[in-house]
Each structure stands twice: as structure tokens, then as C-alpha cells.
Amino acid sequence: MTFDVEKTRKDFPILSREIQGNNLTYLDNAASSQKPTDVLEGIKQFESNDYSNVHRGLHTLSVLSTSAYEESRKIVQKFLNAKSLEEIIFTSGGTDSVNLVASSYADEHLSKGDEIIITTMEHHANIVPWHFLRERKGVQIKWIDCDQNGKFDINQFEKAITSKTKLIAVTQMSNVLGASPDIKNIIDLSHSQGIPVLVDGCQGVVHEKIDVQKLDCDFYLFSGHKLYGPNGIGILYAKSQYLDRMRPWRGGGDMIKYVQKENITYNDAPNKFEAGTPNITGAVGLGMAINYFEKKIKEGLFDHELRISNYLHSQIKTVKDIVIYGEENIDSPIVTFNVEGQHPHDISTIIDNYGVAIRAGQHCCGPLMDLLGINASARASIAMYTNQQDIDNFIEALERSIALFN
């Protein structure tokens, strides 16, 4: 089936907006995607007609709201092919999910001198929580360096693993280089040594079909706002064998069964990790976004993204004085670059005058910036609604920016 990108674009109202008198060209999708009408109107309908607090309420609105909230959990379970509903935890986002694992699992089961292996491609969200753990517990962080294109040799992981290694945390797709490590190979190697693996799927889940049982990861996480859903909502998938060993990390309502003056009985997963009133609307909206996303997958979304990615890479290589990072990753939905003699902030600011939205900075990847020998970079990233005209608009604006400085 040929993907109809023009039909898809009509589902995203914001794409009809003008910026500085120009049609919006939105290429900042690795930071956050836009939302389709199915999600925008669905949220409005839910908030206007069915909203109430969830769980324990017996009145009609509470029952309806609880049903919608838990239905979204079922949608996520099916989407990831998790074995059980109890393995799906609603969080506030990818960052929150990593912190949950660090505080609830790692803090409880890792001791001074134990090791966590991470890579230089990680987002700060998959770095800083482990630094906190190092400060609290004396845990050691071991780094696996990638090459300039984000490639690893599995032997690097083999050499890094010792009897002290207790966790490996790795991104499924770099938000800078667009590179995708061989996650399955890393997981199989780790499991042969009895080591659990956390996969940051915030970028990867948007661009490939995920099956956590087939992947056999122990923890998997993603954010809703990158998957055409609301912000402030995320998912942590964790195997039941780990959830059973994890203590609650926040206290409050719904994560308990009983509270007495001298005793507390905690709830079962997933409730024991969802203290207080959750982001009900965010969770419901995420379910709507996933339903829309899966419909687009059936229409040929991934083939469309591959074509647009290839076109983006082929066109940006023709730009004068361009320096591309991860140049070999021509199938990647992300292109990160610099222009000789120009600061990426200036590039981003100037092309915004032509309606083109990209990202500029370190992209929350300080160690990777150090490895690449740069302080900052510009980044363009595609989504399901990106068409060839978007790429042409971007290249034209970029060339105008370069001409202005020259």
C-alpha cells in the first residue's frame, strides 16, 4: 500500500499554520511530534463528557474515566506485545520512567562497586539518574564509546561486562546520530551473563514496530509526546519478575491497599508505581495516539518514512560547507549537522524566518557532543506527515542562511 502523506497531513491542524508569513515546515519531531485531530478531538470529547478521577469511584463519570484509563493500558500492552497488563506502568514521560527504574529497582538491588554499562549515545535522561545512583550508593558507571556514525562492536560490551555488572542501559535509536544499535544482540549477550537490560525507546518506538517479548528486554520505556500523543505521559514496561522485586518509589493514594498508624500494605503492580491522581487525560490521549499510529503503520508508514529519510540525506549532502554527523545513517529519520563558520543557533533562528522549525544545541547529549568534538549542532527530524516539499523548503532556507552569512 502506498502511504498517502497528503491525506495524513490533513489530520494535523497545526500544519496549516503560517510562521513569519510562510507555511510551517516542522522538522523538530525528535524533540516532540504534532498531534492529529483524532487525539486533539478525542481528548476534548473525553474532558468534556467523561472526565473524573479514576479508581475507587462508584459514580458514572468515575466508572467511565477509569474504564478509558485502563483501556489505554490495554492498548499499550497490545502495542508492545507485553505479556500482562501489570507490566505496563503509566509515568510522566521517558525521563520519569528511567528514574523509576533507578530509584525502585537499581537503588534496591545494586551495591557499592556494582557496575552499570551505558553508551556515549545516551540522552541525559538515561545518564543523570545513574549518576545520582553513583552518588548515593557508590555504583560505578562504565561507558561504551561509539564511532562517529554511532556504531558499536559487540566485543566492546563483552569486554566491559564483569561479575560486578548489574545493569545495561542503552538507547534503541540515538536522538543525535539516528543510529540504532543491535539491541537484540546486546540483550542476548547480557542475558547470557544474567544481566538485565533497559532500553530507551523514546526515538525507536516512533519508527519501528516493537515487540518486547521478542526483543526480550527487561525494561522498555517511551514518551507519549514523541508518538503523536499528549505531553506529560510516558510508559515503563517491566517484566513481572522485576516488578515483583521493586519497591514503590513514591507514596500516596492508590499505591497502597491499607494504611494503618504502624503498618502499610502496598498495592500490586502496576498500581504501586502510580501514586496519586495520575495524568488521566494524558493516558487516555496516548491510547488514542497509538490507535492512530497503528492505523498509519498498516497504510505503509514505515516505507514512507524511509523514502523521506533517504531524500533528506541525499539533499542535505549537496549543501555547501555542510558537516553531517552520522553521515552513513542514510535510512535514519534524523539528520544532525553543522555549517562551517556558522553557529547552529544562528542557523535555526534564521531558517525560522522561512517557517522551518529544527532543533539546535546539544540535544541533551553532552558526552556524545564531546566524542564528536563539537559544542552544539543543528538537527532536522521527520515524522509521518513530512513530505518532499518539507525537505525542499528546509534545504532552500538552509542555503539562504548560508548565503546570508557569506
Instruction: Write the CB contacts of 314 (distance below 8 Å, at least 6 apart in sequence).
Output: 330
Q: Is 8 helix (H, G, I), strand (E, B) or coil?
A: helix
Q: Residues with Cβ < 8 Å from 116, sequence gap 6 or more? A: 106, 110, 130, 133, 139, 140, 141, 142, 165, 166, 167, 168, 169
The set of cell numbers assigned to 326 is 552520522
Q: Among residues 342, 344, 339, 372, which one has the least CA distance to residue 359?
A: 344
Cell of 109: 538491588
Instruction: Give CA–CA dist 43/279, Å, rounded.
Output: 12
Q: In DSSP terms, which residues pair with 41 in a beta bridge?
A: none
For 181, the 3-state DSSP assignment is coil
- For residue 339, count CB atoms less than 10 angstroms from its CB and return exposed for 0-12, middle for 13-18, buried for 19 or more: buried
- Residue carrying C-alpha cell 509521518: 384
| 364 tagged catalytic | yes
Q: Which helix (H) or strand (E) holds 132?
A: helix 128-137
Helix (H, G, I), strand (E, B) or coil at 84: coil
What are the phi and psi torsion angles at 41 (to 5°)?
A: -75, -35
With contact defined as beta carbons under 8 Å apart, do 183 and 219 qualify? no
Q: Which residues pair with 222 in a beta bridge?
A: 235
Please report the DSSP string for 344-367 in residue order. Answer: HHHHHHHHHTTTEE-EEE-TT-HH
List 146, 202, 364, 365, catalytic entry: 364
DSSP string of 201-266, one letter each residue: -TTHHHHS---HHHHT-SEEEEESTTTTS-SS-EEEEE-HHHHTTPPPSS-STTSEEEE-SS-EEE
Residues with catalytic annotation? 364
